[in-house]
Amino acid sequence: MLIGHSTWIFENEPTILSTGVIGGPFEAQGKIANDFDILHEDLWMKQKSFEQAQQIMMEEAAQVAVKKANIQKEKVNFFISGDLINQITPTTFAAKTVDVPYFGIFSACATSVESLALSAMIIDAGGANYILSGTASHNATAERQFRYPTEYGGQKPPTAQWTVTGAGCALVAKSTKGSKGPVITSATIGKVVDMGLTDPFNMGGAMAPAAAETIIRHLQERNVEPTYYDLIITGDLGRIGREVSYDLLKKYGIDINAKQYVDCGITIYKEDQPVQAGGSGSACSAVVTYGHYVKRMIQGQLNRILFVATGSLHSPMSVQQKNSIPCIAHAVSIEMRSES
């Protein structure tokens, strides 16, 4: 059901049945290492290229999610996923291995929520019974494409962020009798917001207005206060983007407790890890939310979260042509249900 201009309410309670969360060696040193299903010891992961390593992580995340749900892979109707690399080739090659009908999507670092929202919509409408929804990124592939290869050793400003090496996948299913969730209850689809920023080393600052715009619209269209949610979780704004978006929300009259407003790019790494402003990459929001926050919901520590992934929709070509950076944020609400 559509409410307002761009928010879907899911009446049939599409459920996150299971998740698969994969990380690299740097993530294994982070704050939430215990929340990963698999942690790799090296960036190559026994592959010939970093892009193939990213593909392996996406395959593993999907396989783990299916295995944990204890269903046959043949029951999965669709695989909805994407990544940051040109033509989303790592995900497409992974889809060949996953071997279920595939929707390849792109929303940069907002891909995690875009895929989750679309999965919930299809499940809610009766178009599928099981959908794998996910994304992956790799530090070395993103650095090569968007900035400089890591071997170059280029210095980064304090506003820069560290691309997460990892993959996160959720298996979304029809609600079953007695299920407690986590249930995807709504989704708000973001607009492209472009404030004219041109610095690709300050993506958090560029994405912050898109995050604020989507959060405000979600709260208005659902007619709920920020306190309705235990946590409002942004994707990968990092320290700078989180502060900018928090100030923007305050400016527009949205009163959110600072402890209630968290960011995946800050959650994933320790203070002493050299990540400048925090984590980023399409896997950042996926691994932190599916591995850490959804786990906390299942453990009874959280009841309702608003998951807002943010994406910087620039490309190397658009940056070289001196274009500004268009950004987007999509939101989904996830809630635990009482047994019935």
Q: Where are the domains of the chain?
A: 2-173, 187-335
Average pLDDT over residues 121-133: 98
Report how far apart, in Å, the C-alpha atoms of 216 and of each of 118, 169, 270 are.
21, 27, 30
Phi first, then psi: give them for residue 58, nearest 5 degrees: -65, -40
Model-level pTM? 0.96
Q: Which tens digits make up the pLDDT trace of 195-227?
A: 999 999 999 999 999 999 999 999 999 999 999
151: Cβ contacts below 8 Å, ≥ 6 apart: none
> Is 277's pLDDT higher than 60?
yes
Q: Which tens digits make up the pLDDT trace of 51-106?
A: 999 999 999 999 999 999 999 999 999 999 999 999 999 999 999 999 999 999 99
Amino acid at 78: F
Instruction: Tell me what pLDDT residue 178 has.
Output: 62
The domain 2-173: what is its CATH number? 3.40.47.40
> Is 181's pLDDT higher than 80?
no
Under a CB-based contact definition with an 8 Å cutoff, are residues 32 and 288 in contact? yes
Instruction: Tell me what pLDDT residue 154 has.
Output: 78
Under a CB-based contact definition with an 8 Å cutoff, are residues 257 and 150 in contact? no
Instruction: Tell me what pLDDT residue 339 has.
Output: 55
Domain 187-335, what architecture?
3-Layer(aba) Sandwich (3.40)
DSSP sequence for 97-145? HHTS-EEE---GGGHHHHHHHHHHHHHHTTS-SEEEEEEEE-HHHHHHH
Average pLDDT over residues 283-296: 98
Q: Enter the tokens of residue 114.
A: 């875009």
